[in-house]
Amino acid sequence: MARALYEPESGYYARPGRLVGRSGDFFTSVSVGSLFGRLLAAHLAAWRGGKSGPWRILELGAHDGSLARDVLAELASAHPAAFAEVEYAIIEPLPALAARQRETLSEFAEVVNIVNAAEDLEPRRGILIANELIDALPCRIVEATEDGWVEMGVDLGSEGNFEWKVIGDAGEIAALLPARPPGYRTEVRPDLESFLSPLADRIGQGRMLWVDYGFEADDYYADGRSEGTLQTFVKHRADNAPLDAPGSKDITAHVDFTALGAACESLGGRVVRFENQARFLTEVARPLLLSLEGRMDEEVAKVVRQFQTLTHPGQLGSRFHVMEVDFSGETT
Ligand SMILES: C[S@@+](CC[C@H](N)C(=O)[O-])C[C@H]1O[C@@H](n2cnc3c(N)ncnc32)[C@H](O)[C@@H]1O
């Protein structure tokens, strides 16, 4: 999964052209329009409150820079005091995407800082945001057998194709999972804590805001979910053939929010919000929606359409969840 998605030359995410949005392979809340970024900007500005001094928004998985552009444009117009002191940092390991982000964000070049790794940033109080990042992190695949969990790898088949192969006992991963009947297959991301640790070090007792699709552990590893959630996407069609044509399609697996919350807590964080996207955005959008009351122009119609897509249970409202973690050490 790591190589198929992130090889700098041939990985899926290094491909030129549009991957996200109508002409790409999948939609995200960002590709619905600028409203998602505008609402996040309101939430970030509210978190900063009346404080003064430099602060940072740190984005991961910024892709072509659209969310950063939408957030910064809204901060500049609706929260100028917060905008005046913000640094918008992006951690982007893929050079091709960093170049696209620089292009998208050229008008905000003075406040944008795109780096290759967390270690390139000095710590500064801030809030990390990531939409659909964790689901794109490589995962490990395990399968239950009569003798416990084994880990699955990928091998070259006799026809030159890739095929699944047992690579050994699941070892420490087995301790993270409940017993399941033979044949039950699922995914785990056991390295979340080491992934998050350098990020927690860079936000200066700030916050993290994770938006993604997934479940709590009980639901994730429920009896009925016996084939896991590993999926690929091409042209808005999901298929279950992640080994075919690596590099040409997106590969994803849902987020185990229980594991994500636990990894954050082991690094000193406290989960202060976990709810579906509809609830979160409805709360955050209230002032904006009230300000539009009584207006019936095209701009309002656009906002309403985007809000419905982001919050409707049949669209992005209930599948997506928001987890916010506070690292200030305060308990209230
Ligand atoms: C599903 S896309 C989401 C893009 C965007 N956030 C959106 O919502 O439209 C996942 C993104 O995460 C990025 N990504 C994956 N692993 C990463 C990592 N370790 N650090 C930074 N970005 C990463 C990928 O390159 C890709 O741009």
Same domain, 258 and 276: yes
Same domain, 158 and 130: no
Cβ of residue 61 lying under 6 Å from some atom of ligand 1:
yes
CATH of the domain at 63: 3.40.50.12710
Residue 141 has φ and ψ, to the nearest 5°, of -105, 130
Same domain, 280 and 165: no
Same domain, 114 and 205: yes
**In terms of residue numbers, what domain contains 170?**
142-176
What are 20-63's pLDDT values in tens digits? 888 888 899 999 999 999 999 999 999 998 888 999 999 999 99
CA dist., res. 33 & res. 19, Å (int): 15
User: Has residue 97 been placed in a domain?
Assistant: yes
User: Number of folded domains in the chain?
Assistant: 2
pLDDT value of position 332: 67
Mean pLDDT, range 290-309, rounded to an integer: 92
Cβ of residue 137 lying under 6 Å from some atom of ligand 1:
yes
Long-range contacts, 152-159 (Cβ 8 Å, 24+): 152/185, 154/243
Q: Is 187 left (phi over 0), alpha (psi -120 to 50) or beta?
A: beta
CA 97–ligand 1 middle distance (angstroms) = 10
pLDDT value of position 150: 98
Q: In percent, how much of the chain has pLDDT > 90? A: 89
CA 130–ligand 1 middle distance (angstroms) = 8
What are 75-85's pLDDT values in tens digits? 999 999 999 99
Q: How confident is the model at residue 96 (pLDDT cuts 50, 70, 90)?
A: very high
Same domain, 113 and 159: no
Same domain, 75 and 146: no
DSSP, collapsed to helix, strand or coil, labels residue 86 as strand
* Lowest mean pLDDT segment, chosen from 16-25, 69-78, 125-134: 16-25
Q: Using an 8 Å Cβ cutoff, are 178 and 221 in contact? A: yes
User: Has residue 108 been placed in a domain?
Assistant: yes
Same domain, 88 and 22: yes
Same domain, 128 and 163: no
What are 170-226's pLDDT values in tens digits? 999 999 999 999 999 999 999 999 999 999 999 999 999 999 999 999 999 999 999
CA dist., res. 216 & res. 220, Å (int): 6
Question: What ligand 1 atom has the least distance to the C-alpha of 195?
Answer: 19
Domain end, chosen from 124, 155, 176, is at 176
Same domain, 116 and 210: yes
Q: Which H/E stretch holds residue 240? A: none
Tokens coding 102? 């620089």
CA 264–ligand 1 middle distance (angstroms) = 19
Q: Is the pLDDT of residue 330 over 90?
A: no
CA dist., res. 100 & res. 16, Å (int): 10
Cβ of residue 20 lying under 6 Å from some atom of ligand 1:
yes
Same domain, 199 and 158: no
Same domain, 211 and 319: yes
Cβ of residue 30 lying under 6 Å from some atom of ligand 1:
yes
Average pLDDT, the chain: 95
Same domain, 165 and 120: no
